[in-house]
Amino acid sequence: MPRYTNQEVAKLFADIGDLLEIKGENRFKILAYRKAADNIAGLGQDLFDLWESGQDLRKIEGIGQAIADKSAELFSTGRLEFWEKLTAEVPVSLVEVLNIPDVGPKLAKSMWQELGLTTVAEVKAAAQAGRLQTLPRMGAKSEARILASIEALERRETGRVHLGIAWPLARQVMAVLDNLPDALKVEVAGSLRRMRETIGDLDFLVATENPRPIMAAFKDLADVQEVIAAGETKTSVRFKNGLQADLRCLEPSRWGTALQYFTGSQAHNVKVRELAQKQGYSLNEYALTRESDGEKLMFDNEVELYEFLGMDYIPPLLREDRGEIKAAQNHTLPALLKVGDIKGEVHCHSTWSDGADSIEAMARAALARGYEYLVISDHSQSLGIANGLTPERLRQQRREIDEVQARLPGIRLLQGTEMEIKADGTLDFADEVLAELDFVVASVHTGLRQDRETLTRRTLAAINNPYVHLIGHPSGRLLTQREAGDFDMEAIMQAAAATGTALEINASPERLDLSDAHVRRAVELGVKLMINCDAHHTDGFENLRFGVATANRGWATAETILNTRSWREIEAMVMKA
């Protein structure tokens, strides 16, 4: 019987969603496959095991009868008839074409049907030959942008994934290792422990007196595709999604120094070693050694190690050599923000635009998280691909929000919009429409290849509008897929600080926008910040941890994040009109 990992099943359903969109199928059908893909990718249990044990897959959020049946067919036969029929109609390689920035489903379909282009290489060759200009509404500038985007994709560092892929896989591995009787302590190290926005590989540490069964269990993990190297205390494997992972087993007495060393960053560790040397010690992953007599000092944990060297404990999120060692010595490290500090969100989507769940479902999910308030901020009218709302539909939506509010008195529901900042620099709604809303998020989704001056001017126009409260995902980047637009972020942050307009830390792992570096600068300038999940379905709220981690990496605190406050306080701080 063939066995499929969660990541393989998730990719299959995500690809189905993309191909259905190219084909022009019903939007809700497309969203259903994408939601299923997202939920399966983040599932803490193995979907195959759940099916094999006879459990009802429909009990998993986002999996209905159709998806459950297709999963069962795939697991039991190793094939999916629906996929075979779909790929007979639409070339599967068009999924990769959609990864080209500026190429959406309609354009990909046009390239395929009009020019016979089905791969990225063919699109590149056609652009170089000037053939794309023969397509409707495709001029020389658009063709040049597509060619530049393909070349940027080719230059981009490969082999890295965003946190939304690395984090759930690491949790699955940790769950297995934690359950082993010989594993005394288990931790993920490296860049994932520091919650960097992209991850190259995974590092796991286990404190144990008996490494052999732990190494055996690691090699036998269901998602392992290849054992690269295996030794008594270190094993390296490659998972089916391409990520490499290293497991190191060590004596419990060396836990503190080893965890500190393998967490990094390299630049941070260099500074810590220099500090140890000034005090007459050498530091490596095995011990802190006194140079005068060679005595080795062991530490059960990192806290003791940092304190021995004369500073406060430095959380992994701050270990990037950005002033954290001096701050630890001076007892001025920022207090880390916690997920529970966030009292509500102002940027989420429902089925009124491109969301997969209803307003009531989103509200109930937010209430279950303990949120005090939630702003429904569906897309505005000009973003047709996202089924953006017209002013009339906004007024209709208000009535539904009021009806849901009456049924859910435990959370305050408000109406907003994610208003498009259009390519010509104008805003998608007139001020009289914005005045009817409780909160306005303004974002750039289109024209991200415009020049620096034009892009910056567009965002500044929104910042200076008295009805705009927040700039959503300010750089427009999609990690590992699309580079940030060429915005003058310094000018944008200066203007935001001057006007009181907030900037978003978008917690979606594909975005994490603002970046941690921009968060740090925003904090320095006194810019108001908000963390939002930009959730398009109820499970999207789970991404909050990534936004909080990014805020912490940028040294933001609860005092600098607006939505750690009540709604009444937010109204007083950001309502400009």
Among 11-25, 305-319, 339-353, 499-513, name the one with the lowest average pLDDT.
11-25
Instruction: Please compute the mean of the pLDDT values over residues 19-28 and round it to a whole number.
Output: 89
pLDDT for 44 equals 55
Cα dist from 457 to 339, 400, 441, whole Å: 34, 36, 17
Q: At what angle do helices 120-128 and 105-115 cross, to 10 degrees?
A: 70
Q: Report yes or no: 395 and 433 within 8 Å, Cβ to Cβ.
A: no
Count of residues for the chain? 577
In order of 301, 446, 561, the CA distances from 102 in angstroms are 49, 8, 33
252 DSSP 8-state letter: G
Contact 406, 398 (CB under 8 A): no
Report residue 62's pLDDT band, with 50, 70 and 90 as the boundaries.
confident
pLDDT digits (tens, 9 = 90+) for 109-150: 999 999 999 999 999 999 999 999 999 888 888 888 898 888
Q: How far is CA 483 from the centre of its chain?
A: 15
**What is the reported pLDDT for 576?**
62
Q: What's the rounded mean pLDDT across residues 215-229?
A: 92
Torsion sign over Cα 406, 408, 411, 416: negative
d(CA 492, CA 192): 30
pLDDT tens column, 254-273: 999 999 999 999 989 999 99
Question: pLDDT at residue 158 above 60?
Answer: no
Would the pLDDT of 302 be above 80? yes
The pLDDT-based confidence of 47 (bands split at 50, 70, 90) is confident
pLDDT at 222: 87
- Kind plus residue range of the DSSP H or E element containing 395: helix 391-407
Kindly list the structural domains of the chain, giving each domain's residue range(s) and its CATH number in brackets, ordered by start: 6-155 (1.10.150.110), 161-241 (3.30.460.10), 255-329 (3.30.210.10), 339-574 (3.20.20.140)
When pLDDT is cut at 50, 70 and 90, the band that residue 2 belongs to is low
Q: Give the range among 151-160, 413-422, 452-461 with minimum mean pLDDT.
A: 151-160
* Cα–Cα distance measured from residue 212 to residue 437, given in angstroms and rounded to the nearest whole number: 62
CA-closest candidate to residue 101, choices 424, 375, 484, 394: 484
To the nearest whole number, what is the mean pLDDT of the chain? 92
CA atoms within 13 A on the CB side of 519: 27
- Which of 148 and 348 is assigned the larger pLDDT? 348
CA distances from 64 to 16, 88, 176 (A): 16, 25, 28
For the cut 60, the answer to whether the pLDDT of residue 212 exceeds it is yes
Range in 137-141, 243-247, 430-434 with the lowest mean pLDDT: 137-141
DSSP-assigned letter for residue 380: B
Cβ distance 285 to 276 under 8 Å?
no
- What's the pLDDT at 126? 92
SS3 236: strand
* pLDDT at residue 42 tops 80: no
Residue 350 burial by CB count (10 A; 0-12/13-18/19+): exposed, middle or buried? buried
CA distance 441 to 335: 28
Whether 4 shows a pLDDT value over 90: the answer reads: no
> Could you give the percent of the chain with pLDDT greater than 90?
75
